[in-house]
Amino acid sequence: MLSQFIVNYQRNVMDIISHATSWLTNNEGLVIEYVVNLAAALLILVIGFIAAGLIASSIERLMNKRKIDRTISSFTSSMIKYTFVAFILIAALSRLGVQTASFVAILGAAGLAVGLALQGSLSNFAAGVLIVGFRPFRAGDYVEVSGTAGTIQDVQILTTTLTTPDNKEVIVPNASIFSGHIINYSRHDKRRLDLVIGVSYKSDLAKTKAVLKAVLDQEPRLLSDEKVTIGVLELADSSVNFAVRPWVRTPDYWPVRFDLLEAIKTALDEAEIEIPFPQMDVHFDKSELQ
């Protein structure tokens, strides 16, 4: 039994080899053509992907060298790269004998179905185009978008990358950026400091105003050509609040703010002007305690 099985197995293997050899002999030209086409398609893919990457990076470097905003150069290079990749895939399939016309039609129908399923991604893409077109911010700007504040690093096809002041990377979908408020703190070269300084109701208001003005006069980083506002802002529950509003260069905003608050506190202490803290007075009716 075992010997018969082995003989049958060997006969079947020989038949398979014989049929395969016969088919290869009869279709030698077809096999060679298919192998050549397959090799050519792989070569198109490899060279095409490398060329697409090199072309996209070269265009981005050229645009950066011409001092074009990095958000535009990055977005443009990404679009060029993916466009090249699409053409490369079609060329490779065409080399393999796939009818690209019908393939494109199928791809279009599939793209429609995928588009309906990925409406969020399409809206992100459209928002990315609008961001690059209208340029509400540039790379390096400090902005507040979608509840996140940070420095713009890069604008891609679907997302925008920010770096927060504590060095965290935040990736925000483009659609949520463009559909909400965009606050750009870096767009203008100067900003106004809005300080609120509270003093006691017992304080001399004219003296307090003079002390605040003296502190501002000693700060050289304030813009002298801009009007400085010092005035009573409100009569709050526990304090008289002064509005102190000088102007500074945008890069000096936070350093000047920190230094001014410290200098104002020191000057008010030296002038014996009290800075109150929230408090509550409780009065007891002695008649009710008897």
- The answer to whether residue 26 scores a pLDDT higher than 70 is no
Q: How many CB atoms lie within 10 A of CB 47?
A: 11
Domain assignment present for residue 278? The answer is no
Q: What CATH number corresponds to the domain at position 218? A: 3.30.70.100
Q: What CATH number corresponds to the domain at position 142? A: 2.30.30.60
Q: What CATH number corresponds to the domain at position 72? A: 1.10.287.1260
pLDDT of residue 143: 93
Segment among 2-6, 119-123, 252-256 with least mean pLDDT = 2-6
Question: Does one domain contain both 110 and 35?
Answer: yes
pLDDT of residue 27: 59
Segment among 81-85, 120-124, 162-166, 197-201 with least mean pLDDT = 120-124
Q: Which amino acid is at 20?
A: A
pLDDT of residue 71: 66
Question: Does one domain contain both 147 and 227?
Answer: no
pLDDT of residue 51: 82
Domain assignment present for residue 125? The answer is no
Q: What is the pLDDT of residues 174-219, one digit of tens each?
A: 888 888 889 999 889 999 999 999 999 999 999 999 999 999 999 9
Question: Does one domain contain both 6 and 112?
Answer: yes
- Residue 115 confidence class, pLDDT cut points 50, 70, 90: low
Task: Using the 3D structure, point to which of 154, 184, 214 is the last residue of a domain.
Answer: 184
- Residue 47 confidence class, pLDDT cut points 50, 70, 90: confident
Q: Is 119 within 8 Å of 133 (Cβ atoms)? A: no
Task: Using the 3D structure, point to which of 160, 184, 208 is the last residue of a domain.
Answer: 184
Domain assignment present for residue 9? The answer is yes
Residue range 4-10: mean pLDDT, rounded: 61
Question: Does one domain contain both 86 and 8?
Answer: yes
Question: Does one domain contain both 258 and 233?
Answer: yes
Domain assignment present for residue 99? The answer is yes
Task: Using the 3D structure, point to which of 88, 117, 146 is the last residue of a domain.
Answer: 117
Q: Look up the domain containing 169 and give its range.
A: 136-184
Q: Which amino acid is at 81?
A: K
Domain assignment present for residue 288? The answer is no
pLDDT of residue 18: 64
Question: Does one domain contain both 156 and 234?
Answer: no
Question: Does one domain contain both 177 and 212?
Answer: no
Q: Give the Cα separation of 4 and 10 in Å (integer).
A: 10
Q: What is the pLDDT of residues 70-79, one digit of tens each?
A: 666 777 777 7
Question: Does one domain contain both 177 and 253?
Answer: no
Domain assignment present for residue 275? The answer is no
Give the global pTM: 0.57
Three-state SS sequence of the chain: CHHHHHHHHHHHHHHHHHHHHHHHHHCHHHHHHHHHHHHHHHHHHHHHHHHHHHHHHHHHHHHHHCCCCHHHHHHHHHHHHHHHHHHHHHHHHHHCCCCHHHHHHHHHHHHHHHHHHCHHHHHHHHHHHHHHHHCCCCCCCEEEECCEEEEEEEECCCEEEEECCCCCEEEEEHHHHHCCCEEECCCCCEEECCEEEEECCCCCHHHHHHHHHHHHHCCCCECCCCCCEEEEEEECCCCEEEEEECEEEHHHHHHHHHHHHHHHHHHHHHCCCCCCCCCCCCCCCHHHHC
Domain assignment present for residue 266? The answer is yes
- The answer to whether residue 114 scores a pLDDT higher than 60 is no
Question: Does one domain contain both 101 and 66?
Answer: yes
Domain assignment present for residue 124? The answer is no
Q: What is the pLDDT of residues 224-252, one digit of tens each?
A: 899 999 999 999 888 999 999 999 999 99
pLDDT of residue 193: 94
When divided into structural domains, the chain yields a total of: 3
Question: Does one domain contain both 90 and 156?
Answer: no
Question: Does one domain contain both 161 and 256?
Answer: no
Question: Does one domain contain both 97 and 12?
Answer: yes
